[in-house]
Structure 1
């Protein structure tokens, strides 16, 4: 895990290695629940040559001179799940390893999201497919994760939220279908985190998530170094979200199958946005 202070960047080396399929061996694709994906015959190129490209849920924007990529998960079109370890019970460690384990046609996009330890497993609240694999972490410590308030991105079905960890602890009784804890909150009730400067000296490739009043989840990743304050203001001023959660920095990564983007950072928990089509629904249940 890499922990980033506002005044300086203090990288923490991750120890787990990404496991790739040996050369020459067939790759078995699996769904998020571990079941194998039914393979179908390759389409006839002549029959698909005139079909329009699949639209991306992500777009490039510029805010205060910084290029960003903004991806939208719409409850009417998408589901959200978490992924961290593969069928071998080892962390994927990269988005490319995760991509090799699923049917790309079912994926709208995926982004790393949630703080993790040297073993690439979550150090805070983590729920995958309705199973809580890590408890809410309310401890004190150093680094971004422990800048209170930190928070949780969670949801069930098409209802998604970002809440401060204490608020989550005090008000959420039912276990969600997915959840990941990170920190700090970039925005809390529409206000910047008290320890975030308007445009501090610490700049890095960072990503975050917020949910607007209409229920759409907005994922933003910087394509050039950005300060905490700039990222927070984009969520506040452009996306009009009340609560936004910092997901990570330096290793921030995005996989967008529609555009072919595949970032190469080493990652822990992965937020997976799947398509709510009949095919995607069957593959992600």
Structure 2
């Protein structure tokens, strides 16, 4: 029991301004990048200067400079247009989608990652529509993994649907943003428990499960695969020394 409690403490311990680390929770390995979202300027990246989707971490770095860390940041269509709301530095490029639908995105409640001057917040879609948060940048995805401390009601403890999955969880005050990717296939229920029980985060959002990717130089991670849509990350120039 003492070892288990120490493991939970290690997962939930406050991060440095940017802290990427490998952890294990309930016997499953994960890679995490935790950001002090009040001290650091998280950014979203979709299109380059010509209006074409970046599609890769390397393309972002080629135009914007080195990344301290990055991750795929929301679901997208075949042409890499965001499926739901996408807002970047005050400009809305895709509208909010509130209706249920097919696939993981439409498994409501879904939500969005909101980046604001007060920090980073995972916000449920209808709460955002009601004016819950003002975001200079936001990316919508789904489903929510954790909603006000509770797992998504549709998640099954005995599900056999397992994928490499990635997502983000945030603290209530917006100071902690923890980006996680599983290092082996997990269920939604298992992934949600990582954020709720392992990281003590009240809200968490699923990003994807088939193209999940992480760029974390400190962990030796520069994942490659199919071209991405939205990307979330921290430019090295914006990171604390």
Structure 2 segments unaligned to the other structure (5+ residues):
1-16
Corresponding residue number in structure 2 for 1:270: 231
Specify which of 170, 173, 181 is matched with residue 140 of structure 2: 181
Structure 1 position 142, deviation (Å) = 0.6
Q: Within 1, Cα distance between the matches of 2:219 and 2:185?
A: 22
Q: Within 1, Cα distance between the matches of 2:225 and 2:133?
A: 34
Structure 1 position 229, deviation (Å) = 0.7
How big is each residue's C-alpha offset from its partner over 1:56-84, in whole Å with a ceiling of 9 and x where there is no partner?
Answer: 62100111221100110103541111101
The 10-residue stretch of structure 1 (194-203 or 246-255) with the greater mean CA deviation from structure 2: 194-203
SS at 1:226 equivalent: coil
Report the count of equivalent residues: 221
Structure 1 position 197, deviation (Å) = 1.0
How big is each residue's C-alpha offset from its partner over 1:202-222, in whole Å with a ceiling of 9 and x where there is no partner?
Answer: 111110111124521011101
Report the CA distance shift for 1:184/1:153 in structure 2 as closer, same or farther (over 3 A). Answer: same
Structure 1 segments unaligned to the other structure (5+ residues):
1-54
How big is each residue's C-alpha offset from its partner over 1:85-108, in whole Å with a ceiling of 9 and x where there is no partner?
Answer: 11221112222322332321xx32
SS at 2:181 equivalent: strand
Question: TM-score, structure 1 length as denominator?
Answer: 0.73
The structure number with the bigger radius of gyration is 1
Question: TM-score, structure 2 length as denominator?
Answer: 0.85
Q: Is the 8 A contact 2:18 2:36 kept in 1?
A: no
Corresponding residue number in structure 2 for 1:212: 171
How big is each residue's C-alpha offset from its partner over 1:110-135, in whole Å with a ceiling of 9 and x where there is no partner?
Answer: 11111111111111011111111111
How big is each residue's C-alpha offset from its partner over 1:141-171, in whole Å with a ceiling of 9 and x where there is no partner?
Answer: 2100000100011021242111110111013
Report the CA distance shift for 1:220/1:96 in structure 2 as closer, same or farther (over 3 A). Answer: same
* 1:221 corresponds to 2:181: yes
Corresponding residue number in structure 2 for 1:125: 85
* 1:255 corresponds to 2:212: no
Specify which of 67, 92, 98 is matched with residue 138 of structure 1: 98
Q: Within 2, Cα distance between the matches of 1:69 and 1:231?
A: 12
